[in-house]
Each structure stands twice: as structure tokens, then as C-alpha cells.
């Protein structure tokens, strides 16, 4: 069964763009090249036709009339594998349009553009089925969150885009900054590669707040790939890849206006505009701003439940499509964000602000640029050449109130000071990619060259001084600078027998200027065991250079002292796993069952130990003889029990453990069990839509600052957070061009009783706002609207 599927100046960016101004179509992910691909649109219009049916007509006289069939997705795109039997004709049908029959070349993997003419006038049309989220075509275990799925929740930014998805968990980093992180296969988001239109993005120092840097209404779709992805995308994917596809200039709405406000006083405003200048040129401008200026303390701990924050964000994209196989896309982006958190009485502009009250401030400025070009040979549609260039300038400054015990006096006293953590990152990435076939389209290869430039400059001052420390020693302790220059080469081979087997084998070699040669092998296998049964397996290696402070930024909001080892080595990991996908019919409607298991084993990891000593966070490489691994088992069922009601249910088991001071212990704040349920109802013509999402979390281990630590060497049990469930719901009313929606998050008003340990004495030794396992501010209600012109 087939189912439809951010140097400190702009000169750095300008250089990157001038070097490769044209750059777009070479995709950096595995695809079924030997299949026929294309798009179906309405004749004389740019509007796509989702749900159009395409089927092969088999050539043999004794063959049945119907060959393999598929339908177009929300963008009118399709991919249809060639049947085992000879077939040269393709029938295209859509409700309300005249059918068409196409002659398809017997060799190659052509891209077909089909225009259907409107047929007889129709009366009422009722949608009876929707595209399933798990594709049967991709060799990787991939799940797609569509633009429709993104409207099931408020979805103000990327962090909120996963609320109706079971594969990815979104967690709150701490109870002061409001930052959120994702977890995939039980590992922090730093171990999953985040790509933007299939180019690595929002890496390094941007990681702590990156989920808030992409507005939800900008997103066309999100693809979640479990396990290591393609070698084309680099070596950093360790637990998976999250690819965010932004709105395309030539395909998106002419106008989309989205406004949102909640009962905390936070508002979001988004404006997307696009223009088709002529048949070859198109552009899109994506604008976003959000603001929270109200001081809210619902739990009465004298701390803001959410930081005061303001963000301005913009992206401008241009696209050029020639008539001769050349496609170019380029654009610029800019972001400015400020945050202020802490006690209610904290005011940043007051004298001695950080020592009078506890407070934190963060300011980020980010500029991005990209240029992509691809050329496809007109007579060889399976052969293409692509160049991808991107540049990022990311600057931030941050300050945190802090207190420490001064043991140089007797008796010791608590001193108030301020921590500062500032950083800049300049990144440039270039990839040259060539794709063709070996003999025929059953054997496809991709090969290319890449170059990564990363310049990091970090300054971390904790306000402490040490008697035996010289100025040179203090400088070395406070400054963490490194410059990475990584040329690389890669090759990837895809075999597809057009019936039931797809194999993707890839290898890349990178020469890191600081850490030498790095080899990254990866393998993906997809086997169609039966008509509606798909088996997948994958294995691969990942490599990453850690940023110890940025990766553990949440711990800055605690009294812990950072102890960072010298000469940290890169993180290396092996990931192995597989999945079973079963498509079937239940009560006359399509359904999908997916079960997957992945094992991630670190051969080296930069471990942040918050267990061993309550006064410190010790960051060092995994000790000799130590282990660190993550095991993830998930089962998910998607079905439609009755007309217009869609149900998704999932259960996930995680076993994530790391050696801390010689003891193999569970990773803090990671629940072993999680259950998920989503109910979605849509009335006729989608006039009314209602969604309910329930997320249940099992117990999770804690590592509090207070007391004597866990004393796990004595065999005492680790303290754990209780089990709890969260309920979110939303109701949407659709009109011709307007949608109005209202929703409630955390319907039962469940809260973590004391999200900040030591809140009454934030400069004391027991202060910790990083052990957050549940909601801080309780129930949240919101309203919003979307207005669009297609």
C-alpha cells in the first residue's frame, strides 16, 4: 500500500552568498530516485491538487487493469514506484476534474507535472480519508507532521509543534529562563540534527533557545527521522534528524496573518506574504514578533513563572526556476530576542540589580543567509548537480545572579555576585553534491564534498577569585575559544528493486583540524515483507564536538559551580535500530500500526554529573570503563474508528543510563514510561475541528542540590518525580478565509509543587531552578485567528 508522504558583521554572510548565490534543489535526504515523481495541479492555476489518484496501466495483455497506486499529498506532490511488470502509461484522476493518461519514459526517474482540467460542476464534496503520517516509501523510519497537524495546537513556535506527536518529547529546561528542549530516543536535543530545508541549522551556541527561533506559521511540515540519517547531511546526527520545511515562495499562500494571545498576557503576531513575480521568479517574506510584558507569579514563590520576553524575527526567501533544469533559492534572516527572568522585584536597569534581587537576562542577535542551486540534466532527469551554501552569525550576552560560600574568612559567609556567559559563533557550510545512476535507476548514487567552518568564542565568568590563580590562569578558565575547519567527502549508494527492497549505504570521511580524521558509516534497509507490511533497519555512527556550557545552560540557574575538565574529547556514538509498519483497514477506514526499537551506545560522551556532589556540576568525558546508552521502544496506533474521528495512541519505554563516579545510574529527569493519546474530530467541510491530547509521564529520577546529595554509593534509592498527566484541547471554527481557534493547555491545572528549590534564599547553597519535571504556571487558556488568501 502506498501512502502519500543563524563575523559579527554581515560581510561574512555576503561572502557566503556571493560564492554560491544560486542553490536549491539538491535534496539532502534519502529518496526513492528510481520512482516516478511529480506534482498535480489545476490547469491554468498554481493551486495544487491534493488527493489526486495515480495508477499504472500494465502493458501486458493478460495483466490486470490496475497497477500500483498512490495519491498526492497536501502540496499536490507524489512518488510512485515502478511496478515489477512493464508499464508505460499513468492514469491521473481527481474528483471534479477530467482524468488524463500520460506516457512515461521506460528509463530514468522523470519528474512529471500534470495539469488537470476542471470537469462537471459538483455538489457537496466530503473528505473521507486523510494522508497517513508514516510513509511507506522512505528507507528511513520517518514521520511527517503536516501543516494541518500544526493547526491542532497554538503552535506559536517550533517547541509547540510537537504537542500532538508521540515521537518527540518537549521539556522545560528550567523554571526561570522559559527555554525548552526536545528529546528524541531519550536523548537531549543536542544529539539530534536539526535541519532547515535540509541544511543543518540552529547548531552550537543557539541550542538552548533554538526551539523558540522558528515561528510555527512559517512551517510547512516537519519530518522526524529516527536513527542516524543520510551522510549527505553531515556527521552530527546521533539519535535522529528533525527537518523543518519552511513555506516555499512559489507554493505558499499569498497572505497568511496569525494572531495569538493567552491569559498570561503573551501575544504572538505572524505575517507571511508571497508573490509570484513571473513564471520563473517568486519570493516570500516571513515576519514574526512575540511579547510577554506581564509579571506573573501564580505559585507564590516570588519568581516569575515565565520570563519577560520580546522577539523580532524575519526571513526573506527568493526562488528561481528556469525551463532548463536550473532551480535557485536564496534568502536572509534576522532575529533579535531579549529575556528577563527571576524574582518579581528584579529590575535590570537598577543599581546593583543582580545582587539586590535574583535575576537573569539574555539577549541574542542572529543573522543567517543561504544560497542553494541545483541543475538537472534535461535529457537525464535522474542526474543532477547541487551546491548548498549557508552562513550564520550568532551573538548573545547573558547574566545570572549568583551566590557562593566564601571559605577564605572565618566563619564562612555567603557572597552575592553575578555570573556572565557571553558568546559568538560564526559558521559557514558548503556542500557540493552530484547525483546519478549506475546503469539504470535501480542503482543510484550520490557523492560530494563539504566544508564546515565554526568559530566559537565564549566567555564565562562566575564572579569568583582564587588566591593561587594568576591572571593567565583566570583568562584560560574564563575563555573557551575554538575554531573548527572540517573538509569532508561522502558517497551514498541506493539500490531499489522496484518491488520490495531498498538499501541505502553511505560513508563520509572528514578531516577535523582539531581531532583528525573521522569516518561516518551509515546503512538503511527497507523491506516490504508483504503488500502492507514494511520492515526497516538502520545502523550508523555519529560524531559531535560538545559545547559544555551551552549544552548545560539550564544549570546556570542554580547555585552549582561549573567544573569543566580540560581537553574535552568529541562525543562518538553508534546507533542501531529498526521498525515494523503495518497498514491495514479497520471498520472500513485506513489504519497504521508502527513499532520501533533503537539502541544508542556512546563510545565517548561529555557527561554532566549532577549526582556526585550537590555543590558542583562536573563536566568531563566518560570515564574509562564507564558506559552511556539509551534504549527506546515505541508502539503507535493510528486509526479512524468512525467517520471524521482520527485517533493516535502510543506508548514509549526509555532506558537511559550513564556512569557517574563509577555507578551506572539513570539520566536525571528522563521518565522511563510515557503514554500518548490524540483525538481529532473534523465536521463536514472542516467547518469545526476539535482536538484533545493526553500525555502521561511516568516517574523520573531527580538530582537536587539540597542536602548531602543522593548518597547512591550507600544503595539508597534515587528520589523521583511523581507520575502525572497533561490534557490539552483546542476548538477551531473555519470560515472561507478565516479560522478562529481557542484552547486550553494543562486542562486539569496540574503543577509541580516546588519548581524552584531554595526559592526563599536564591543566593544560598541550596538554590536550584533546573530540576523541573512538570508544569510551572498551571492551566493556560488562549485564543487566536488565522486569515489567509491562497
Which CA distances in Å does 447 have to 230, 485, 488, 508, 756? 12, 20, 11, 9, 51
Q: What is the pLDDT of residue 108?
A: 58
**pTM of the full predicted structure?**
0.83
Asked whether the predicted pLDDT for residue 65 surpasses 50, the reply is no
Strand order in the sheet with 240-246: 142-145, 219-226, 240-246, 192-196, 199-200
Asked whether the predicted pLDDT for residue 5 surpasses 50, the reply is no
CATH class of 36-116: mainly beta
CA 94, distance to chain mean position in Å, is 34
Q: What is the pLDDT of residue 146?
A: 87
Asked whether the predicted pLDDT for residue 9 surpasses 60, the reply is no
Q: What is the pLDDT of residue 314?
A: 98
- 3-state secondary structure at position 721: strand
Asked whether the predicted pLDDT for residue 283 surpasses 70, the reply is yes
Asked whether the predicted pLDDT for residue 7 surpasses 90, the reply is no
* Residue indicated by cell numbers 482524468: 99
DSSP for 646-672, written as a single string: EEEEEEEEEEEEEEETTEEEEPTT--S
Backbone φ and ψ of 683, nearest 5° = -80, 180
The grid coordinates of residue 490 equal 561522502
Backbone φ and ψ of 206, nearest 5° = -80, -10
Q: What is the pLDDT of residue 125?
A: 38
The grid coordinates of residue 457 equal 568564542
Asked whether the predicted pLDDT for residue 128 surpasses 90, the reply is no
Give the pLDDT mean for 220-239.
93
Of 198-207, 212-221, 398-407, give the lowest mean pLDDT range.
398-407
The grid coordinates of residue 267 equal 501575544
Dmax (CA) for the chain in angstroms is 99
Q: Which residues of 345-383 are buried (b: 16+ CB within 10 A; e: fewer)?
A: ebeeeeeebbbebbbbbbebbbbbbbbbbbbbeeeebbb
8 Å CB contact between 396 and 365: yes
Give the pLDDT mean for 552-558.
94
User: pLDDT class for 24, splitting at 50, 70, 90?
Assistant: very low
Q: What is the pLDDT of residue 132?
A: 52
Which CA distances in Å does 206 have to 145, 212, 663, 726, 770? 23, 10, 32, 29, 19
Give the pLDDT mean for 106-121.
69
8 Å CB contact between 690 and 645: no
* Residue indicated by cell numbers 511488470: 85
Q: What is the pLDDT of residues 684-717, one digit of tens each?
A: 888 999 999 999 999 999 987 654 555 555 556 7
Asked whether the predicted pLDDT for residue 499 surpasses 60, the reply is yes
Q: What is the pLDDT of residue 153?
A: 85
E strand intervals along 247-325 = 255-262, 267-276, 281-292, 308-321
The grid coordinates of residue 556 equal 546556570
| CA dihedral angle for residue 702, residue 707, residue 711, residue 716, rounded to 10 degrees | -70
CATH code reported for the domain at 11-18+137-789: 2.40.170.20
8 Å CB contact between 316 and 283: yes
8 Å CB contact between 367 and 13: yes
Q: What is the pLDDT of residue 614?
A: 82
H helix runs in 115-184, sequence order: 147-150
User: pLDDT class for 66, splitting at 50, 70, 90?
Assistant: low
DSSP for 323-370, written as a single string: SSSEEEEEEEEEEEEEEEEEBTT--TTSTTHHHHS-EEEEEEEEEEEE
The whole-angstrom separation of Cα 577 and Cα 631 is 10
Asked whether the predicted pLDDT for residue 159 surpasses 50, the reply is yes
Average pLDDT, the chain: 88
- The angle formed by the CA atoms of residues 414, 419 and 424, to the nearest 5 degrees, is 170
8 Å CB contact between 42 and 76: no
Residue 125 burial (CB count, 10 A)? 10
Backbone φ and ψ of 760, nearest 5° = -75, -20
H helix runs in 352-487, sequence order: 353-356, 471-478
Give the pLDDT mean for 286-293.
97
Asked whether the predicted pLDDT for residue 649 surpasses 50, the reply is yes
Q: What is the pLDDT of residue 117?
A: 79
Q: What is the pLDDT of residue 28?
A: 40
Say how many CA atoms lie within 13 Å of 303 toward its Cβ. 28
Give the pLDDT mean for 36-52.
78
Q: List the one residue out of 446, 69, 27, 432 whose CA is nearest residue 223.
A: 27
CA 124, distance to chain mean position in Å, is 39
The grid coordinates of residue 57 equal 496501466
**Domain coordinates in residue numbering, the chain:** 11-18+137-789, 36-116
Asked whether the predicted pLDDT for residue 13 surpasses 60, the reply is no
Give the pLDDT mean for 234-246.
94
First to last CA, the chain: 32
Residue, of 498 and 381, whose pLDDT is higher: 381
The grid coordinates of residue 71 equal 495519491
Q: List the one residue out of 609, 611, 564, 608 whose CA is nearest residue 708.
A: 611
Say how many CA atoms lie within 13 Å of 143 toward its Cβ. 22
Q: What is the pLDDT of residue 123?
A: 40
Q: What is the pLDDT of residues 424-436, one digit of tens each?
A: 999 999 999 999 9
* Residue indicated by cell numbers 479497520: 586
Which sign, positive or negative, has the C-alpha torsion 557, 158, 250, 258? negative
Say how many CA atoms lie within 13 Å of 766 toward its Cβ. 9
User: pLDDT class for 46, splitting at 50, 70, 90?
Assistant: low
Asked whether the predicted pLDDT for residue 149 surpasses 80, the reply is yes
Q: What is the pLDDT of residue 706?
A: 55
8 Å CB contact between 328 and 313: no
8 Å CB contact between 613 and 643: no
Amino acid at each position: 500500500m502506498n501512502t502519500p508522504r543563524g563575523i559579527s558583521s554581515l560581510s561574512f554572510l555576503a561572502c557566503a552568498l556571493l560564492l554560491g548565490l544560486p542553490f536549491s534543489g539538491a535534496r539532502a535526504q534519502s529518496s526513492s530516485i528510481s520512482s516516478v515523481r511529480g506534482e498535480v495541479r489545476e490547469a491554468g492555476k498554481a493551486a495544487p491538487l491534493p488527493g489526486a489518484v495515480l495508477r499504472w496501466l500494465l502493458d501486458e495483455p493478460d495483466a490486470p487493469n490496475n497497477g500500483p497506486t498512490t495519491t498526492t499529498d497536501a502540496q499536490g506532490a507524489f512518488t510512485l514506484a515502478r511496478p515489477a511488470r512493464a508499464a508505460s502509461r499513468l492514469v491521473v484522476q481527481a474528483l471534479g476534474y477530467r482524468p488524463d493518461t500520460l506516457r512515461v519514459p521506460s528509463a530514468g526517474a522523470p519528474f512529471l507535472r500534470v495539469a488537470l482540467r476542471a470537469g462537471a460542476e459538483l455538489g457537496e464534496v466530503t473528505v473521507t480519508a486523510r494522508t497517513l503520517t508514516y510513509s511507506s516509501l522512505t528507507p528511513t523510519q520517518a514521520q511527517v507532521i503536516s501543516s494541518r497537524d500544526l493547526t491542532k495546537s497554538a503552535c506559536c513556535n517550533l517547541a509547540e509543534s510537537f504537542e500532538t506527536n508521540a515521537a518527540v518529547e518537549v521539556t522545560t529546561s528550567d523554571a526561570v529562563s522559559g527555554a525548552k528542549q526536545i528529546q528524541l530516543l531519550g536523548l537531549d536535543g543536542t544529539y539530534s540534527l536539526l535541519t532547515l530545508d535540509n541544511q543543518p541549522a540552529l547548531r552550537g551556541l543557539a541550542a538552548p533557545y533554538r526551539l523558540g527561533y522558528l515561528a510555527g506559521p512559517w512551517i510547512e511540515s516537519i519530518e522526524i527521522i529516527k536513527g542516524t540519517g543520510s551522510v549527505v547531511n553531515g556527521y552530527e546526527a546521533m539519535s535522529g534528524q528533525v527537518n523543518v520545511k519552511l513555506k516555499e515562495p512559489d507554493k505558499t499562500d499569498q497572505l497568511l496573518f496569525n494572531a495569538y494571545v493567552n491569559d498570561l498576557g503573551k501575544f504572538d503576531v505572524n505575517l507571511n506574504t508571497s508573490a509570484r513575480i513571473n513564471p520563473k521568479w517568486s519570493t516570500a517574506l516571513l515576519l514574526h514578533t512575540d511579547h510577554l510584558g506581564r509579571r506573573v507569579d501564580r505559585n507564590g514563590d516570588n519568581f516569575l513563572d515565565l520570563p519577560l520576553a520580546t522577539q523580532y524575527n524575519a526571513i526573506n526567501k527568493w526562488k528561481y526556476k528556469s525551463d532548463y533544469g536550473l532551480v535557485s533559492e536564496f534568502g536572509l534572516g534576522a532575529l533579535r530576542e531579549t529575556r528577563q527572568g527571576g524574582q518579581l522585584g528584579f529590575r535590570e536597569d537598577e543599581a546593583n540589580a543582580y545582587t539586590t534581587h535574583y535575576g537573569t537576562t539574555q539577549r541574542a542577535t542572529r543573522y543567517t543567509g543561504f544560497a542553494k542551486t541545483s541543475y538537472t540534466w534535461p535529457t537525464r532527469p535522474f542526474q543532477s548537480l547541487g551546491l548548498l551554501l549557508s552562513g550564520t552569525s550568532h551573538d548573545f550576552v547573558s547574566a545570572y545572579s549568583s551566590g557562593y560560600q566564601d571559605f577564605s574568612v572565618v566563619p564562612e559567609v555567603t557572597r552575592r555576585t553575578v555570573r556572565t556567559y557571553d558568546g559568538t559563533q560564526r559558521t559557514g557550510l558548503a556542500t557540493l553534491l552530484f547525483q546519478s545512476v549506475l546503469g539504470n535507476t535501480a542503482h543510484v548514487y550520490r557523492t560530494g564534498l563539504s566544508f564546515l567552518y565554526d568559530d566559537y568564542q565564549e566567555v564565562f565568568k562566575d564572579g569568583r577569585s582564587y588566591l593561587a590563580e594568576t591572571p593567565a590562569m583566570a583568562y584560560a578558565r574564563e575563555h573557551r575559544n575554538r575554531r573548527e575547519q572540517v573538509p569532508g567527502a561522502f558517497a551514498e549508494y541506493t539500490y531499489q528493486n522496484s518491488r520490495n527492497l531498498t538499501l541505502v549505504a553511505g560513508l563520509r570521511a572528514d578531516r577535523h583540524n582539531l581531532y583528525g580524521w573521522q569516518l561516518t558509516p551509515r546503512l538503511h534497509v527497507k523491506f516490504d515483507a508483504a503488500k502492507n507490511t514494511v520492515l526497516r533497519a538502520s545502523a550508523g555512527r555519529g560524531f559531535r564536538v560538545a559545547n559544555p556550557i551551552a549544552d548545560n545552560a539550564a544549570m546556570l540557574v542554580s547555585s552549582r559551580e561549573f567544573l569543566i575538565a580540560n581537553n574535552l574529547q568529541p562525543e562518538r556514538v553508534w546507533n542501531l535500530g529498526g521498525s515494523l509498519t503495518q497498514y491495514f483497514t479497520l471498520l472500513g477506514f485506513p489504519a497504521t500500526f508502527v513499532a520501533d526499537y533503537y539502541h544508542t551506545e556512546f563510545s565517548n560522551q561529555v557527561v554532566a554529573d549532577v549526582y556526585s556532589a550537590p555543590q558542583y556540576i562536573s563536566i568531563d568525558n566518560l570515564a574509562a570503563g564507564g558506559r552511556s546508552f539509551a534504549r527506546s521502544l515505541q508502539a503507535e496506533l493510528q486509526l479512524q474508528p468512525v467517520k471524521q474521528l482520527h485517533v493516535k495512541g502510543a506508548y514509549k519505554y526509555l532506558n537511559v543510563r550513564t556512569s557517574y563516579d563509577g555507578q551506572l545510574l539513570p539520566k536525571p529527569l528522563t521518565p522511563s514510561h510515557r503514554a500518548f493519546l490524540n483525538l481529532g474530530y473534523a465536521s463536514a467541510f472542516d467547518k469545526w475541528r476539535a482536538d484533545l491530547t493526553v500525555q502521561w509521564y511516568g516517574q523520573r529520577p531527580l538530582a537536587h542540590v539540597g542536602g548531602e546529595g543522593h548518597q547512591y554509593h550507600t544503595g539508597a534509592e534515587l528520589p523521583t518525580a511523581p507520575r502525572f498527566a497533561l490534557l490539552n484541547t483546542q476548538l477551531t471554527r473555519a470560515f472561507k478565509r478565516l479560522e478562529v481557534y481557542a484552547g486550553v493547555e494543562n486542562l486539569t491545572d496540574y503543577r509541580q509543587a516546588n519548581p524552584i528549590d531554595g526559592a526563599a534564599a536564591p543566593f544560598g547553597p541550596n538554590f536550584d531552578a533546573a530540576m523541573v519535571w512538570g508544569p510551572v504556571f498551571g492551566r493556560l487558556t488562549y485564543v487566536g485567528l488565522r486569515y489567509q488568501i491562497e
